[in-house]
Structure 1
């Protein structure tokens, strides 16, 4: 099992996958845990990139640790996991949204959204390393 933990203390997004026999994982479990909130969803990878684009998304923040303008967004292929990142007050601010859609028509399913604050130095670098390991299955 490989996992990446994004956040601090009791507020975090944990991404977990079983080790794949033939390279990158086909899916991961996204668990959002905040004070008073716990939600999880299974996220399927994009057939061409797997989760490499998620690892690259966080590596880009490591490279730009001094800050950037606006909001950067990563979203899974089916929209069940979305991460919006901005650089504010010397920190990386993440808004994480996970969703579970039910088959059929109408308003069936749920959405959970929470905010996480990440330090742009060592903490962000550690997250990027964990995500790279998760994306490659090693």
Structure 2
């Protein structure tokens, strides 16, 4: 299940929860931009005993974006063979998708801090959604989140400390 938690402002967030276990999920939040070429955001992975967060994941306008990947999965709701994958240019966010009988899509989300970050860790969680309406709804929520209008972006001077 997915939920767009907020309006088009700096408090907007999208959460995807696993249909099999609602305590497993991913949240996309804290978006901002330095220019019209990109949107930066934070991803948080949750599962029993796990909370992990990676900040400043970047969606570039010229990149094969997450939205396109998710929309293609939604369009193939009847299923496919094997695994499909996508990742950001910096590989701080990656997702692989598989189909399960009965019309479900498993999305395994892997997050890791930038290569220069101390600790060199990564973690993954898997969320399961219905291949039809739930997948389409999630893709639309992510499109809305990443297509944040430039006019709504805070300037760099307005960012919270530490950004």
- Interval of TM-score (by shorter of Structure 1 and Structure 2): 0.7 to 0.9
Q: Give how far 1:32 is off.
A: 0.5
Deviations 1:76-103, CA, capped at 9 Å, x for gaps: 1111111000111221011111112453
> Are the equivalent residues in 1 in contact too, given 2:30–2:42 (CA < 8 A)?
yes
Q: More strand by proportion, 1 or 2? A: 1
Q: What stretches of structure 1 of length at least 5 have no aligned partner?
A: none
Q: 1:99 aligns with which of 101, 108, 112?
A: 112
* Structure 2 residue 20 is the aligned partner of structure 1 residue 7: no
Aligned partners of 1:25 and 1:136 also within 8 Å? no
The count of corresponding residues between Structure 1 and Structure 2 is 134
> What TM-score do the two structures reach when normalised by structure 1?
0.83
Stretch deviating more after TM superposition (9-18 or 31-40): 9-18
Q: List alignment gaps of at least 5 residues for structure 2.
A: 1-10, 150-163
Structure exhibiting the larger radius of gyration computed from Cα positions: 2
Larger relative CO (CA 8 A, sep 6+): 1 or 2?
A: 1
For 2:121, the equivalent position in structure 1 comes to 110
TM (norm. structure 2) is 0.72
